[in-house]
Structure 1
Amino acid sequence: MPERDLRTERIQQERKKWRKDHPFGFFAKPNKAADGSLDLHNWTAGIPGKPKTLWENATFPITIAFPEEYPAKPPKIKFPAGFYHPNVYPSGTICLSILNEEQDWRPAISIKQLLLGIQELLNNPNPDSPAQEPAWRAFSKKKDEYEKRVKLQSKQYANKD
């Protein structure tokens, strides 16, 4: 079982680093298991939209699931199903090279780096890597429709100040 110990140790290190130093407006924490203990392998997190973007004044929820093979394999990070973005599949799965073990995933990538990368992707979609047709088509060809849908979605996740 040394694999599992490696995964848990790494997640504990990541959690400690995150608690000491995480970007303003972000949150990430392990879920609670049915017995009240922490489920280190499944987290809930939030990514704030950057100021002065269509995504501002909202915090977008994600889930993080660490596979058995973590950190050799990347965590599975998802938005809620139906999240509107050109690089997010209808299931909520995020299409981003640093989350893909076949592309740019490296075991040294931290939770902080992943969440900052996802925040960056929100406002800067990659048109060459579409994951959902309607958002990709609107982003590519109908900017005002795209912006209207993003603003609507941002209202749905608006920060309650």
Structure 2
Amino acid sequence: LFKWEAKIPGKKDSLWEGGVYKMSLEFTEDYPNKPPKCKFTPVLFHPNVYPSGTVCLSILNEDEDWRPSLTIPQILLGIQDLMCNPNEKSPAQADPYVA
């Protein structure tokens, strides 16, 4: 098991601008055949982030859009984009976001 730490800057002209968001990436021995587990530390309040901090994103799910050819920069850019453009069709936890 390998564990990396990464920082994602908030996108310009977004709610997240000016912030730097830490996360851990955990790789199993099966990487790149299986995606890394990406987790915000500390946890972000976001529709696509579980209470544990784990990111809910299709490219991080081997049963959905994961491809072994995805690079770490592509994964981090995908997460940065998700921060600004939540996927309402795939919430990590639906109940807290229902008005």
Q: Which runs of 4+ in 1 moved over 4 A?
A: none
Tell me the TM-score normalized by structure 2: 0.92
Q: Structure 2 unaligned runs (5+)?
A: none
CA-atom RMSD in angstroms: 1.4
The answer (yes or no) to whether the contact 1:81–1:90 under 8 Å persists in 2 is no
Tell me the TM-score normalized by structure 1: 0.58
**Alignment partner of 1:108: what SS?**
coil
* The structure with more helix, counted as a fraction of residues: 1
Match of 1:78 in 2: 39
1:106 aligns with 2:62: no
In terms of mean alpha carbon deviation, does 108-117 or 123-132 score higher? 123-132
Percent of paired sites with the same residue = 57
**Alignment partner of 1:119: what SS?**
helix
The answer (yes or no) to whether the contact 1:81–1:91 under 8 Å persists in 2 is no
Q: CA deviation at 1:128?
A: 0.7
Match of 1:93 among 54, 58, 78: 54
Q: Distance in 1 between matches of 2:18 and 2:42?
A: 21
Q: Distance in 2 between matches of 1:44 and 1:82?
A: 14
Match of 1:117 in 2: 78
**Alignment partner of 1:98: what SS?**
helix
Q: Distance in 1 between matches of 2:29 and 2:43?
A: 27
Match of 1:60 in 2: 21
The answer (yes or no) to whether the contact 2:22–2:42 under 8 Å persists in 1 is no
Match of 1:127 in 2: 88
Task: Report how many residues are paired.
Answer: 98
Q: CA deviation at 1:82?
A: 3.8
Question: Which amino acid is 2:34 matched to?
Answer: K
Q: Distance in 1 between matches of 2:60 and 2:84?
A: 18
